[in-house]
Amino acid sequence: MEVTRKNYKDCLNTVYSAIEEADFLAIDGEFSGISDGPNVSALTNGLDTPEERYTKLKKHSMDFLLFQFGLCTFKYDQTQSKYITKPFNFYVFPKPFNRTSPDIKFICQSSSIDFLASQGFDFNKVFCHGIPYLNKEEEAQLREQTEERRNQHANGVGTPSYISPSSSKSPAHVPDEHKVFINKVVEKVEALFTNSDKTLDLEPCTGFQRKLIYQTLNWKFPKGLHVETMETEKKERYIQVSKVDEEERKRREQQKLEREQEELNDAVGFSRVIHAISKSGKLVVGHNMLLDVMHTIHQFYCPLPEDLQDFKEVTMCVFPRLLDTKLMASTQPFKELITNTSLAELEKQLKETPFKSPRVETAEGFPSYDTAQEQLHEAGYDAYITGLCFISMANYLGSFLTPPKAYISARSKLIEPFFNKLFLMRIIDIPYLNITGPDLQPKRDHVLYVTFPKEWKTSDLYQLFSAFGNIQVSWIDDTSAFVSLSQTDQVQIAMNTSRYAESYRIQTYAEYVQGKQQDKEKLGQPANSMYIPVFFEAQLCGYLQFQSINMFFFLHGFRGIRKRSISPVQAEQGGTEPLITDGWSHYSYPDSTGSKKMKTDGQRR
């Protein structure tokens, strides 16, 4: 169901009840851009810490606009053994509510816009009919302003911005060139008092002329008139003068305030849908959803906190239960079966054996999507597909139970290991952001931090380290990069060799981290407490019955992971390495080619 400003109010109850009855929800956002940073390799370094990645995304991605929000609700029908879906595709735009409401500026990235354009995205629907919204703070501010204005009116203060201290004591000064104009207005108003008309609409005019009219009428006719600025459909402002007794005047003022109050409720707009999702506490599924979650909170709740830990807490308040299908597909037992975890490919692969397409039906009154006719990058469709992927994967987990189960609900313990862990793009050795606990801290003692002249390219680094076999380069900026060696014992050799180098400088990763922490302390910020690595909630493994699959991942977590973050050529082929890394290890490669081009939305998933 397509929802714009036109039908939003009519749809709201349908949306509320769909959320209320659902077993789980799937969401997706489309943005006006991905990154305003200098280049994608600086923005998504393969050896970012979760804190660094969060800071970068916050800094370089939040000024884009989430302008299409997809929500698909899934309710399991026990009797028919199938899911009933209700897909919604919301167009969202921060239309200024009035002249004093925030005038949002947002960035568009031409590659993202061009990509969406090529997918048939309808920008007119966003910009002309997008549903407005306010975050919590803006909402509170506007409610306060309206309250203040109400109090001022009650105290008879009038419209203060139009009346300067001097003008209330003396007649308005009308500059010569406006005298004819103002005199005509006064004549018309005098005529209004003698004729049978109740109101008089003046011609549209400038703000200065309106000020003169207000001042003049206020002086000449202190009683018996209600004067109000109105707006034509073309946004031309004009003044409406109404003949009223004191009681009527007050009633009109009151009416005006009530109208404002209702308009204000409308201005909260789309945020109400997010509030409803949040309040429901339902499982919210997304594909590669970190940016979706960040944007949703930033746009509809509050500006993102500085600190990752605070972000995690806010996220848990807004979305108490999240699941990322890209992380799920990249993890055992799926990662072996799924070679490409982009949403479109995942959906295709989950139709094939050993997976089963879920049985779903679109609820009556909702237009049904045809997955054969891909409508990717429409947020409502992407949310729908994401939900299908989740169901297929969840049900596949059921096949390992004794006896096997064909249907696994969104409340099943089987999927709990995936809760509240959001996929981290292109980080070599940290697959996910752990929203409900400390993040993984893989060892990085085979990693060197290298600084060099800005003319250097990837090939210069290959040259420099040519004696050490395969290396992996993760660019930080024009003059620095991480270089991962294939063996930790090479680190000392590299350090020794570089001692007398003048054009470049090498530090161990530990030295680099220490240096950064010292910089932070100099700036008066407390150093991050060092988290003890927590291995993927091993306590949950008790619930799992995956007798036939490799349990290593759940049991051993990330010990030894550094072996896998080096070049594949040198990696051990044995069975004891952690399997979770393979699924996304290839994301680091595009960066190491030295390409500094940003990825578009199309490449995001």
Residues 72-131 that bind its own copies (CB under 8 A): 93-96, 99-100, 103-111, 113-119, 122-124, 126-128
Contact 376, 390 (CB under 8 A): no
If one asks whether residue 177 binds its own copies (CB under 8 A), the answer comes out as yes
Q: Considering only residues 463-502, where is the footprint of its own copies by CB under 8 A? A: 463, 466, 469-470
- If binding means CB under 8 A, how many residues of this protein chain bind its own copies? 79
Cβ 162 to its own copies shortest distance, Å: 7
Give the Cα separation of 600 and 30 in Å (integer). 11
If one asks whether residue 178 binds its own copies (CB under 8 A), the answer comes out as yes
If one asks whether residue 303 binds its own copies (CB under 8 A), the answer comes out as no
Contact 295, 315 (CB under 8 A): no
Helix 271-280 to helix 8-21 angle, to the nearest 10 degrees?
A: 10
Please identify, among the stretches 177-185, 215-223, 500-508, 536-544, the one whose residues bind its own copies according to the rule CB under 8 A: 177-185
Cβ 400 to its own copies shortest distance, Å: 21
Q: Which is nearer to its own copies, 314 or 376 (CB)?
A: 376
If one asks whether residue 363 binds its own copies (CB under 8 A), the answer comes out as no
Q: Which is nearer to its own copies, 449 or 465 (CB)?
A: 465
Contact 550, 571 (CB under 8 A): no
Give the Cα separation of 70 and 62 in Å (integer). 18
If one asks whether residue 339 binds its own copies (CB under 8 A), the answer comes out as yes
Q: Which is nearer to its own copies, 223 or 454 (CB)?
A: 454
Give the Cα separation of 431 and 582 in Å (integer). 10
Please identify, among the stretches 353-361, 398-406, 462-470, 525-533, the one whose residues bind its own copies according to the rule CB under 8 A: 462-470
Give the Cα separation of 233 and 369 in Å (integer). 37
Q: Which is nearer to its own copies, 340 or 545 (CB)?
A: 340
Specify the 3-state DSSP secondary structure of 329.
Answer: helix
Residue from the set 199, 240, 265, 340 that interacts with its own copies by CB under 8 A: 340
How far from 201 is each of 139, 183, 231, 547, CA to CA, in Å? 33, 16, 11, 80
What is the chain's length? 605
Please identify, among the stretches 291-299, 361-369, 458-466, 524-532, the one whose residues bind its own copies according to the rule CB under 8 A: 458-466
Give the Cα separation of 289 and 297 in Å (integer). 12
Give the Cα separation of 275 and 7 in Å (integer). 19
Residue from the set 342, 357, 371, 490 that interacts with its own copies by CB under 8 A: 342
If one asks whether residue 586 binds its own copies (CB under 8 A), the answer comes out as yes
Residue from the set 55, 141, 490, 595 that interacts with its own copies by CB under 8 A: 595
Residue from the set 206, 496, 514, 576 that interacts with its own copies by CB under 8 A: 206
Q: Which is nearer to its own copies, 117 or 530 (CB)?
A: 117
Q: Which is nearer to its own copies, 64 or 390 (CB)?
A: 64
Long-range Cβ contact pairs of 55-62 (< 8 A, separation 24 or more): 55/308, 57/290, 57/291, 57/294, 58/294, 58/304, 58/311, 60/35, 60/36, 61/31, 61/33, 61/34, 61/35, 61/36, 61/291, 61/294, 61/295, 62/294, 62/295, 62/298, 62/304
Q: Considering only residues 525-584, where is the footprint of its own copies by CB under 8 A? A: 567-569, 573, 582
Specify the 3-state DSSP secondary structure of 602.
Answer: helix
Residue from the set 151, 199, 459, 479 that interacts with its own copies by CB under 8 A: 459
Please identify, among the stretches 41-49, 232-240, 272-280, 293-301, the one whose residues bind its own copies according to the rule CB under 8 A: 232-240
Residue from the set 207, 222, 526, 542 that interacts with its own copies by CB under 8 A: 207
**DSSP string of 46-68?**
TT--HHHHHHHHHHHHTTB-EEE
Please identify, among the stretches 136-144, 296-304, 332-340, 422-430, the one whose residues bind its own copies according to the rule CB under 8 A: 332-340
Q: Which is nearer to its own copies, 412 or 490 (CB)?
A: 490
Helix 271-280 to helix 290-300 angle, to the nearest 10 degrees?
A: 120
Give the Cα separation of 358 and 82 in Å (integer). 8
Residue from the set 87, 380, 431, 602 that interacts with its own copies by CB under 8 A: 602
Please identify, among the stretches 150-158, 505-513, 517-525, 589-597, the one whose residues bind its own copies according to the rule CB under 8 A: 589-597
Cβ 312 to its own copies shortest distance, Å: 29
Cβ 12 to its own copies shortest distance, Å: 22
Q: For 268, list phi and psi in degrees, rounded to 5.
A: -65, -30
Q: Which residues contact 296 (CB under 8 A, 6 or more apart)?
A: 27, 29, 66, 69, 274, 318
Cβ 373 to its own copies shortest distance, Å: 12
Q: Phi/psi class of residue 572: alpha, beta or left (left: φ > 0; alpha: ψ in -120 to 50)?
A: beta
> Tokens for 51?
């804190």
Q: Which amino acid is at 469?
A: G
If one asks whether residue 184 binds its own copies (CB under 8 A), the answer comes out as no
Residue from the set 2, 23, 36, 416 that interacts with its own copies by CB under 8 A: 36
Cβ 258 to its own copies shortest distance, Å: 23
> Tokens for 503?
């054009």
If one asks whether residue 233 binds its own copies (CB under 8 A), the answer comes out as yes
Cβ 135 to its own copies shortest distance, Å: 14
Cβ 597 to its own copies shortest distance, Å: 5
Give the Cα separation of 411 and 141 in Å (integer). 39
Contact 578, 553 (CB under 8 A): yes
Give the Cα separation of 462 and 546 in Å (integer). 43
Cβ 97 to its own copies shortest distance, Å: 10
If one asks whether residue 59 binds its own copies (CB under 8 A), the answer comes out as no
Please identify, among the stretches 137-145, 263-271, 396-404, 456-464, the one whose residues bind its own copies according to the rule CB under 8 A: 456-464
